[in-house]
Amino acid sequence: VIKPHDFFQYKNGELFAENVACSEIAKEVGTPVYIYSSSAFLKPLRALQVAVPGGSFCFAVKSNSNLAVLSLLNRAGAGADIVSGGELYRCKLAGFPGERIVFSGVGKTADEMKAALTYGENGIHSFNVESEPELERLSDVASSLGKVATVALRYNPDVDPETHPYISTGLREDKFGLSLEPLLAAAKRAEELPGINLKGISIHIGSQILKISPKREAFEKVRSLVIQLNKTLKEPLEFVDLGGGVGIQYLEETPMSLEEYGKLVHESFSDLELDLFFEPGRFISGNAGIFLTEIQYRKSTPDKDFLVVDGAMNDLIRPALYESYHHVVPVTESHQKADLKPTDVVGPVCESGDFFAQMRALSTDLKQGDLVALLSAGAYGAVMSSQYNSRPRAPEVLVEGDRFTVVRRRETLEDLVEAELKNEIGGHA
């Protein structure tokens, strides 16, 4: 199991990212700041490549779309799972070849389809199509360009992934995919449409899935669907895209093991002569990043203390949105154990939901100017940040061994207003 601390450990009493002291990064770049470890992205990718030999792993760009991270993963042989024209643009800049890109999402616009069909020399590998109207539109757009789109129909297998309701996507009532009957109808329609080449089935039943059983149930359903479709389709299906969702450790969870996962994939599909695609996001990026923030104030109350830090919900919204757990780790190790008191770690934003941790046992030694790190912030951290409260977004730093690079600079006050200036009503400058 990859642990939140694996690439962010204490050395001589100081928190390090690989071989760089976090305090050194704070000194040069300021706080708050996201810090990533490059090896920490590569290790889980390699582990997946070993667990499922021959599988194509398309990194879910939505989990961490920093160009340096994408480029790192591209060079390591990963593909990309995208959900927007913006993510496609990032893939282009990071150099992903089209044959390693899959396009997911319920609401693709005609412009996004066009961009994907004309990506590189031959367009992207495939579109995961989620409804019949989407299929019709895709066929029209492709035909108008003189192209044929490779398609996987996204199946909604009605399986409970046993995860947070906001990140459950494969239940009948969810907006994602097609359930069995509509999918069979769409497959039939796909064969009639001139701009569509139906070649696969895709699923994604949810995120942060810890147990193997929902995966097993979903894979069994995909397997029977493929067998059923192959009996009626003119050409047999060529691939399945099994989505992302493999969970990680934030606290003390025991996620499914990759051996188990690989074995399940093998048992479910090895006899069907299919190429296997996957869309892992969090598994690759989750424990590859931390969020470093500086304590501004300690506020004591009889029941608990508040540590007010310079990072906030606009930087890392997961605790506010999902009540997610992230370890809070003092950068100076000696602050870890002494005189613990129940503590809320909160940001300066004007909402009670602006917290990173609640009633956490933290040392009363922690004081103004000290640094703390929130672990497991590599997935759905920086990508979900906003400028709420007119706070410039935090920078991102990538560590490789004993070097670090600012891979996204801190936003400035000018960045906050740039798109609003020079308009007729209020803009000056």
Rounded least distance, CB 211 to ligand LLP, Å: 14
Q: In this complex, which beta carbon is closest to ligand LLP, that of residue 170 or of residue 330?
A: 170
Select the span of 43-51, 67-75, 187-195, 201-209 touching ligand LLP (CB under 6 A): 201-209
User: Rounded to whole angstroms, how far apart are CA atoms 237 and 202?
Assistant: 11
Select the span of 34-42, 110-118, 202-210, 331-339 touching ligand LLP (CB under 6 A): 202-210
Q: Which of residues 105-164 bind ligand LLP (CB under 6 A)?
A: none
Rounded least distance, CB 380 to ligand LLP, Å: 3
User: Is it true that the peptide bond before 161 is cis, omega within 30 degrees of 0?
Assistant: no
Rounded least distance, CB 176 to ligand LLP, Å: 8
Select the span of 212-220, 237-245, 386-394, 415-423 touching ligand LLP (CB under 6 A): 237-245
Q: Which of residues 299-318 bind ligand LLP (CB under 6 A)?
A: 318
Q: How many CA atoms lie within 13 A of 263 on its CB side?
A: 7
Rounded least distance, CB 208 to ligand LLP, Å: 6
* Choice from 45, 60, 135, 375 touching ligand LLP (CB under 6 A): 60
Active-site residue identified among 22, 58, 91, 350: 350
Q: Which of residues 272-291 bind ligand LLP (CB under 6 A)?
A: 279-283
Would you state the structure tokens that stand for residue 119, as one six-digit string?
Answer: 């990506």
Select the span of 6-14, 24-32, 134-142, 203-211 touching ligand LLP (CB under 6 A): 203-211
Q: Strand order in 10-11's β-sheet?
A: 10-11, 14-17, 20-21
Q: Is 170 in the site for ligand LLP (CB under 6 A)?
A: no
Q: In this complex, which beta carbon is closest to ligand LLP, that of residue 8 or of residue 283?
A: 283
Q: In this complex, which beta carbon is closest to ligand LLP, that of residue 250 or of residue 404?
A: 250
* Choice from 63, 197, 332, 376 touching ligand LLP (CB under 6 A): 63
Dihedral angle, C-alpha 230, 233, 235, 240, nearest 10 °:
-50
Q: Is 167 in the site for ligand LLP (CB under 6 A)?
A: yes
Q: In this complex, which beta carbon is closest to ligand LLP, that of residue 96 or of residue 283?
A: 283
Q: Is 204 in the site for ligand LLP (CB under 6 A)?
A: yes
Q: In this complex, which beta carbon is closest to ligand LLP, that of residue 239 or of residue 283?
A: 283
* Choice from 4, 245, 311, 347 touching ligand LLP (CB under 6 A): 245
Rounded least distance, CB 253 to ligand LLP, Å: 13
Q: Which of 269, 278, 189, 287 lies closest to 222, judged by CA?
A: 269
Q: Is 244 in the site for ligand LLP (CB under 6 A)?
A: yes
Rounded least distance, CB 232 to ligand LLP, Å: 26
Q: In this complex, which beta carbon is closest to ligand LLP, that of residue 155 or of residue 269?
A: 155
Q: In this complex, which beta carbon is closest to ligand LLP, that of residue 280 or of residue 311?
A: 280
Q: In this complex, which beta carbon is closest to ligand LLP, that of residue 284 or of residue 292?
A: 284
Known active-site residue 58: no
Secondary structure string (H, E, C) spanning the chain: CCCCCCCCCEECCEEEECCEEHHHHHHHHCCCEEEEEHHHHHHHHHHHHHHCCCCEEEEEHHHCCCHHHHHHHHHCCCEEEECCHHHHHHHHHHCCCHHHEEECCCCCCHHHHHHHHCCCCCCCCEEEECCHHHHHHHHHHHHHCCCCEEEEEEECCCCCCCCCHHHECCCCCCCCCECHHHHHHHHHHHHHCCCEEEEEEECCCECCECCCHHHHHHHHHHHHHHHHHHHHCCCCCCEEECCCCECCCCCCCCCCCHHHHHHHHHHHHHHHCCEEEECCCHHHHHHHEEEEEEEEEEEECCCCEEEEECCCCCCCCHHHHHCCCCCEEECEHHHCCCCEEEEEEECCCCCCCCEEEEEEEEECCCCCCCEEEECCCCCCCHHHCCCCCCCCCCCEEEEECCEEEEEECCCCHHHHHHHHCCCCCCCCC
Q: Is 294 in the site for ligand LLP (CB under 6 A)?
A: no
Rounded least distance, CB 260 to ligand LLP, Å: 16
* Active-site residue list: 350
Binding stretches for ligand LLP (CB under 6 A): 60, 63, 81, 104, 167, 204, 207-208, 243-245, 279-283, 318, 322, 379-380
